[in-house]
Structure 1
Amino acid sequence: MPRNKTHVKTAEELVSALSSDRARLFAFLTFILCVFALGGGSRDDIQSLIILRPLAILFCAYAVIQCNRRILALHKMPLLLILALMILMAVQLVPLPPAIWTQLPQREIYLEIALLMEMEQHWRPLSLAPTKTLNSLFSMSIPLATCLLFIIQTPESRTRIMPFIAVLGLVSGGIALLQLLGSPNGPLYFYDITNNGAAVGLFSNRNHQAIFLASVIIMLAWHFSVIGAGRHPSTLSLLAITLAVLAIIPLILVTGSRAGILVMLVAIFPCAYFYYAAVRRKNRRSADKISKNRKLIIMGLAVAFLSVIALAFVLARAEALDRLLNTRFFEGIRANLLPVLWQMAKDYFPFGSGFGSFQHIFTRYESLELLRPNYLNQAHNDWLQFLIEGGVAAVFVAIALLIWISAKTIDVFRNTRAYSGQRRLVIANLSILGVMALASAGDYPLRVPIIMMVSTVSLCLLGSLERVERRSVKTG
């Protein structure tokens, strides 16, 4: 009997330990590490996904056990949007009777082939590539786990997530620098299909590395403003963050990504705002001290910035600038692809072709002008691909997301009780999401697990403002 009591007590202690705030934060940070280690590619045949997705489902189960109705009610919108997208994918996998399936847009050719071959018509799902749609459904385990793990965190723990991601961004940048110094086929390239010789870091694609680093700049600048707003800001910490930002800018240049340099230029604007807000606040508190050290700090930062820029140009000869200024950029396949993509969207409207099916249906539209030695596995315009594959239902999900983000933003900026920290957090996350949305017009960053996770964190941080706002109103 005493032994049974000991076992019960040990089990209770274990459950209590797993439910603690520290354990929840540790679980979230561990999950983020797993995503960075295993989720740097967008392809569905990457072997690491066999490990990452089951892990994500396990983390989902852990988070669900820790959740309760009150927590879910406070942060329901990001979760509902993710679930809505997953339900849409699941619906696309439901078999339909031949009488309905054959009436769907662009199914006539399949019916003609079946009739010519005298094949019997079976029940088929709406998706024209069911295995790819199933893969898309399982890929949603990453944002779902991210959202659930975020929900169970305390407000204090949530403030540590973005700096942690920024540190991992610096790690990816450091690996990218080592890749430039080493062999194009060396062990620091973690994916079989990658941009060998380019600074891809933890990713398989140079564009995705550059886009992610652009978002890291915003994270670091936001963290600079948070530290600068403190009562006793550490000058050393502020200097370290500034040097990190200055180091990332040339790391984006050396990726050779045109998309990266364009979104970096956009990201500089919110960064400038954060620095201005922090310096202005600090000047109010210690104007004499700042004015004395300002010249030394500016000179040190200028020397560091110019040194890193020079190193970047020596290592990669500013490949991104060369490619951006190359006139052939405007004559490439993506410019010729837009009319075809729009035609595909109209042809498969309103039901869509099924998530993940683009590669299979594009061959019907591929003209001689679009033929290349390499096949096109994505549309390189995620906005149009989302419409092509998801149809009108996907549009409704996107509109709901935009309405919710707009409402949250307006609420914070119209609320006179909302303090400046809330507004800066809104600007930071809107900027990160804006960078991803802009990049999606010419690429597919949101199909990469790392960037999916980062974007979900930004959405959840916006959602968490509801609770913070109510608290601030209460405490006056």
Structure 2
Amino acid sequence: MWTDDRRFRTRSTAHSKEIRRKSWQSLSVGFWATACVLVLSIILGGGTRQGFSGDYILQLVSLPLLLASIIQLWSIRSSADIKTALLVVTAIAAVPLIQLIPLPPFVWTALPGREAFSRTFEIAGIPTPWHPISLGPSTTLQSALSLIPPLALFLGTLLLGMAERRVLSLVLLGLGVAGVVLGLLQVAFGSTTPLRFFAFTNKEVAVAFFANANHAAIFMASLIPVTGAWVVAKLARWRQDGAGVTAIPSLIGFIAIAILLFLAQGLMQSRAAIVLATFAALACSAMLFPHFRSSLARHGYIFAIVALVASAGFLIYRILPSIEPEEIDATRYEVAKQTLDIAWKFAPFGAGTGTFVPIYQMYESTQLNSLGPEYINRAHNDLAELLLESGAFGLVVLIGLVFWWVRKGIQAWSRKLREREEIDYLLPRAASIMIAVPLMHSLVDYPLRTGGMAAVLAVALGLLITQPSLSSRANRKEAGRAETRLDR
């Protein structure tokens, strides 16, 4: 009897390995292209400035995925979600492209904020030429090209099957773990290690794949919801299997990844990221709470929440004693305030995407020299910088994007979980939290100005939408069979 059971387990294990091997072989070309662009975006897209050689390589690699995705989505555009996705892509791309359209002299010189520029031609005795809305066409063109990778990732993720979305989420977690390991090595080998990929970077703390430690920390915080979704899914599978031991190793593994991503905040030493990582973990608890039915489990859950908040407080007030928040916050407040004042001078058309530095330097207050660094490369408030550069065009697109995110998030949290398919319903919920993390951080920093964080946001937006090819019942059944094979 014992021998027969052992033989059965051996055959079952071999069968599961064969199923996993075939599942990996069944991944589409679109998945591999999307995963490749995602990995390159994280590795090459950590800079805070445009014009690096890695940016151009990433844009070139992403272009085929973008074009192929648009063609495929256009053929199935009958879906309301597909129409909305194509509208989102068009609107985002249109903002910098409209600012590059040449306008006759009597038009662009009449736009707000152009008086000093038009007067330059008069003083030089040069006939006023045609000119676009953007006062820095070359930087606006660079900004437009920088949209290629995230737009390709958004559309590429949207076209993936449910099983492929699962694997892509695991790729994200793998990048997060690799970033933590890289950060540990950066701290261990000091400020001069070649493991720091950028010349202008935070030398004393971990930065992972990024130039700025704040952005590295937000990257880790954004992945906590994905880990939470997998923890809840594995917990549900464990309960369905009668508390068997088969789901325990993966469950423990995902819990360990979640703890690792949270504790990594101490390596990057970002106050805002610690707060947002705590928010992400607390938001994930909404997915976890229904699975605790006994009073003991619920009390343990509450204890874990209290421990999480206490850990966040410890990281902020004990691990970061060298930071002088009053000085930093004063500088950022003054820069953001002055950016909004400048934005009104160019409203409603904006000065041009990517033109913040030269435009800000024209109006920069000398009072800031006593508050912080003399060179300001960003507004440290992306809403203020968006208003300055893109004007009403960018604001309308942002409002529409936020409205769409809230609506899709409500739909994701309203769907009832299906047994054995929990992860496919939990990933959109996790995506809604992932999107919130960098958006909130953008009010005090500029994470989405990096290609890496823009890629994370793009994947999250793609995961938020139901796979378009699953609109028919037959397709859903076929996808369910494939996902069951992969999950085994």
Task: Identify the residue that residue 359 of structure 1 maps to in structure 2.
Answer: 357
| 2:123 counterpart residue number | 116
Report which stretch shifted further, 394-403 or 171-180: 394-403
The Cα of 1:146 is off from its aligned counterpart by 0.4
Aligned length: 437
Aligned in 2, Cα 1:317/1:173: closer, same or farther, shift over 3 Å?
farther
Task: Please tell me the residue identity of whatever aligns with 1:241.
Answer: F
1:59/1:409 CA distance change after superposition, 3 Å: closer
Equivalent in the alignment of 1:369 = 367
Q: Which residue of 2 aligns with 1:393?
A: 393
CA contact (8 A) 2:218 2:273 kept: yes
Cα separation, partners in 2 of 1:173 and 1:71, compared to 1, 3 Å: farther
Contact 1:172/1:202 (8 A) holds in 2: yes
Structure 1, 97-106 or 391-400: larger mean CA deviation: 391-400
In 1, Cα distance between equivalents of 2:264 and 2:250 = 21
Q: Which residue of 2 aligns with 1:159?
A: 166
Distance 1:185 1:364 in 2: 35
- Matching of residue 407 in structure 1 with residue 407 in structure 2: yes
In the alignment, which residue of structure 2 is the partner of 1:92? Answer: 99
Q: Map Cα deviations across residues 57-79 of structure 1 (whole Å, 9 max, x no partner).
A: 13324445655512684533233
Percent sequence identity over aligned pairs: 27
1:270-419 alignment, distance < 5 Å = 270-280=283-293, 319-320=319-320, 322-323=322-323, 326-330=325-329, 332-371=330-369, 373-412=373-412
The question of 1:36 aligning with 2:42 is answered yes
> What displacement does 1:256 show?
1.8
- Shift in alpha-carbon separation, 1:424–1:363, aligned structure 2, 3 A: same
1:327-376 per-residue CA deviation (whole Å, 9 max, x = no partner) reads 4344x311212321221221111111110011110012211112354411
Closer, same or farther in 2 for the Cα pair 1:412/1:23, shift >3 Å? Answer: closer
Query: Residue deviations 1:378-421, cap 9 Å, x none?
Result: 11111111121111121221122122223323445556798976
Provide the rounded CA distance (Å) in 2 between the counterparts of 1:250 and 1:410. 30
Distance 2:142 2:378 in 1: 15
Contact 1:218 1:431 in 2 (8 A): yes
What amino acid maps onto 1:47 in structure 2?
S
- SS of 2:336 mapped into structure 1: helix
Q: Distance in 2 between matches of 1:217 and 1:165?
A: 11
State the shift of 1:34 in Å: 1.6
CA distance in 2, matches of 1:441, 1:101: 31
Which one-letter code corresponds to 1:376 in the other structure?
Answer: I
Name the structure 1 match of 2:8. Answer: none
Distance 2:348 2:389 in 1: 10
What does residue range 244-283 of structure 1 map to in structure 2 within 5 Å?
244-280=257-293
Report deviation, 1:274. Answer: 3.3
Aligned to 2:457: 455
C-alpha distance in 2 between matches for 1:139 and 1:278: 42
Stretch moving more, 251-260 or 413-422:
413-422
Which residue type is aligned with residue 408 of structure 2? Answer: K
How far did residue 268 of structure 1 move? 2.2
The 5-angstrom pairing of residues 105-184 of structure 1 reads: 105-184=112-191
Match of 1:3 in 2: none
Deviations 1:4-32 (A, max 9, x none): xxxxxxxxxxxxxxx97432222222222
**Higher alpha-carbon deviation: 344-353 or 203-212:** 344-353
- Is 1:433 the counterpart of 2:432 in the alignment? no
Instruction: Name the counterpart of 1:185.
Output: 192
Q: Which moved more, 1:175-184 or 1:258-267?
A: 258-267
| Change in 2 beyond 3 A, CA 1:158/1:184 | same
Structure 2 portions without partners, runs of 5+: 1-24, 478-488
Which residue of structure 2 lines up, in the alignment, with residue 10 of structure 1?
A: none
Greater alpha carbon shift after TM alignment, 92-101 vs 47-56: 47-56
Q: Cα 1:111–1:61, aligned 2, differ >3 Å: closer, same or farther?
A: closer
- Which runs of 5 or more residues in structure 1 are unaligned? 1-18
For residues 187 and 408 of structure 2, the distance between their equivalents in structure 1, rounded to whole angstroms, comes to: 42
1:353 and 1:390 in contact (8 A); partners too:
yes
Deviation per residue, 1:219-262 (Å, 9 max, x gap): 11111112222233611111111122212222112212122122
Distance (whole Å) between structure 1 residues aligned to residue 225 and residue 413 of structure 2: 20
CA distance in 1, matches of 2:417, 2:198: 49
1:217 aligns with 2:228: no
Retained in 2: the 8 A contact 1:256–1:318? no
One-letter amino acid of the structure 1 residue matched with residue 226 of structure 2: M
Task: Single out whichever of 114-123 and 101-110 deviates more from structure 2.
Answer: 114-123
Within 2, Cα distance between the matches of 1:109 and 1:144? 36
From 238, 241, 244, give the equivalent of 2:254: 241
Taking structure 1 as the reference length, the TM-score comes to: 0.82
Structure 1's 346 and 317: CA in aligned 2 closer, same or farther, altered over 3 A? Answer: closer
Partner Cα distance (1:365, 1:353) in 2: 13
Describe the SS at the equivalent of 1:125: coil
Q: 1:200 to 1:374 in 2, by over 3 A?
A: farther
